[in-house]
Chain A
């Protein structure tokens, strides 16, 4: 069985960074769901998801993001995605995610983007 891990890290500016590692598929989607649910429960709506160490993602993994985006955005937050490998980005791109999600190169860029929206 291929493992999956989510590490949560709270930055100083109230942004939550989730680092994904391993294989995100139907089998492990529940772990990501729990991590995102925890953010919502703790009213942390500004979320950055870092994909640097994620080796695989399936539609079910992407589905988890769909299940939370509405809630997060309604609360003035967002889920921004960073550091995707080409392979991972390809899946997001195929399913049309780049048009609707901020997909950025680095966590800093994502944090910056949050700061910008804050100003506006």
Chain B
């Protein structure tokens, strides 16, 4: 009886100890959310209590596959080992020596003999597996009950720690996304604040390299005719050869597949070899309006990890925002350049207007007037009155072939030559001869000037002139008759050393001399018809003008009215002289 009591008492004490240990265990488990601590507690508690030499905790990856999450008394190499377990266990059970499940066979081989399933909400989340007791004694029913209780206590802690780990993982991914967004935000702000192409390229490079731990990065922009320009290269060796960006093949290849392309999948053997040897891993074409305008040349990641889809997406997004900035910078530069050119042209126009006479000369017995309407900012028409001395006035009109700036340069050259020569007291033919040689020497064969030069003797009222291929000026007489002034020679600039003839004509009271450029006679109406010489004659004869200025204005109005809405394509210059 006493013996029985003692035995009961011993059993009570042991149960009490079991309960105490479970209580302590539950405190430990509940106070920790770290999986490692929970697993260690779960293993060390029974191992110490029952003197077991080895044990492991398996956690389910899916219904049948488990991973060894913790192992004691076993080689550490078994950790993280994946095991396939087909069977289901509802309560602690001995490890079968023979099993179709490779997982159970593996555990048996490692000396593990007892299998305690861990359940949470009726779902199996893992196993506590243990080796034999060092004493070799079998597990008693009490001990099995204890282990079952232990496994159940641990389950909710394990579940909590798993959820926490997942939450941490989600948080980390979220943080990473936030970091990416920050990068995107920062780079966009930075890119929008600069028009410096180098700065744009550098900003892009460093943001991308930092974000993805990329060692090398270069940015090439496409130029005309298959050429490329390397804007930046970071981390590539100094001797790296980027000449491949200067090939039509390279850019056409990107046109054909305008998305991030791994180098190893490039079809072009030569290009693939070149890029691989430079450790380039990825080409990221950057597009604007579906046209490949630039390419990011992306090297290795320091971590060696592959580029995932979301990496490629981020690369393309960052790259394209840089491309927009580059495009803005280009447009801005072009606008600036255009503005500068326009300003220059305005100055040139001002200069050219000063080369033309500001006022007609005031000489009694004669009435002069002149007008020049340039078609563009600057033009190639020229007219002038030059008072040589008391009795001589030189008047001239000329038209340089072509238009715009080139024509205006030649016009200025003509003006300067003439002004230098008129005071030399040479005969007109000599002056024209020399000017022709200057113009010929200064121009290519397709540039020439039609030129009319006349000298008026204000005392004798005699007009001497040389016509070098210019539209013949018309001298209208009081009686309605008209004389064309044709004497002269070849247009200026065609050949050197060409002789010129001169004509002389006395002027009568009431004579009206009208000089003009082909902008007058070749002005077209909307139907495409030209104003013609006859048009000039009709206007002058019909109007019966009383002043030189009136003649100019009548002719100008007639031409402009004739042209109507038709686009004007040439300068208009008119010069008149009325003998009073």
Interface residues of A (CB under 8 A from B): 25-27, 29-30, 33, 58-71, 90-91, 94-97, 99-100
Do A66 and B214 form a contact, CB below 8 Å, given A29-B206, A60-B206, A94-B176? yes
A29 contacts B211, CB within 8 Å? Answer: no
Chain A nearest CB, measured from B314 CB (Å): 10
A65 contacts B210, CB within 8 Å? Answer: yes
Chain B nearest CB, measured from A87 CB (Å): 12
B209 at the interface (CB under 8 A from A): yes
Which residue on A lies nearest to B183, using beta carbons?
A: A59
B216 at the interface (CB under 8 A from A): yes
A45 to B213, CA, bound (A): 20
Chain B nearest CB, measured from A76 CB (Å): 16
- A interface footprint on B179-211 (CB within 8 Å = 1, 0 otherwise): 100110011001000000001001101111111
| A–B complex contacts, Cβ < 8 Å, 11 sampled | A58-B210, A60-B183, A60-B210, A62-B210, A63-B205, A63-B206, A66-B206, A66-B302, A69-B302, A95-B213, A100-B213
Interface secondary structure of A, over-half rule: helix
- A interface footprint on B205-248 (CB within 8 Å = 1, 0 otherwise): 11111111111110000000000000000110000000000000
Across-interface contacts of B213 in A (CB, < 8 A): 66, 95-97, 100
Chain B nearest CB, measured from A47 CB (Å): 16
Residue in A65, A71, A94 with the greatest tally of chain B CB atoms within 10 Å: A94
Interface residues of B (CB under 8 A from A): 172, 175-176, 179, 182-183, 186-187, 190, 199, 202-203, 205-217, 234-235, 302-303
Across-interface contacts of A26 in B (CB, < 8 A): 186-187, 190, 203, 206-207
Chain B nearest CB, measured from A97 CB (Å): 7
Interface secondary structure of B, over-half rule: helix
B202 contacts A94, CB within 8 Å? Answer: no
A69 to B211, CA, bound (A): 15
A58 contacts B183, CB within 8 Å? Answer: yes
Chain B nearest CB, measured from A1 CB (Å): 11
Which residue on A lies nearest to B236, using beta carbons?
A: A70
Across-interface contacts of A62 in B (CB, < 8 A): 209-211
Q: Top 3 A-B pairs ranked by shortest CB distance?
A: A62-B210, A63-B210, A63-B206
Across-interface contacts of B175 in A (CB, < 8 A): 90, 94
A99 to B216, CA, bound (A): 19
Known: A26-B187, A59-B179. 11 other contacts (CB 8 A): A25-B190, A29-B203, A60-B187, A60-B190, A62-B209, A66-B215, A67-B234, A67-B235, A90-B175, A95-B176, A95-B211
A64 to B186, CA, bound (A): 15
B209 contacts A94, CB within 8 Å? Answer: no
Chain A nearest CB, measured from B227 CB (Å): 26
A90 to B207, CA, bound (A): 17
B209 contacts A67, CB within 8 Å? Answer: yes
Residue in B208, B211, B217 with the greatest tally of chain A CB atoms within 10 Å: B211
Across-interface contacts of A64 in B (CB, < 8 A): 206, 209-210
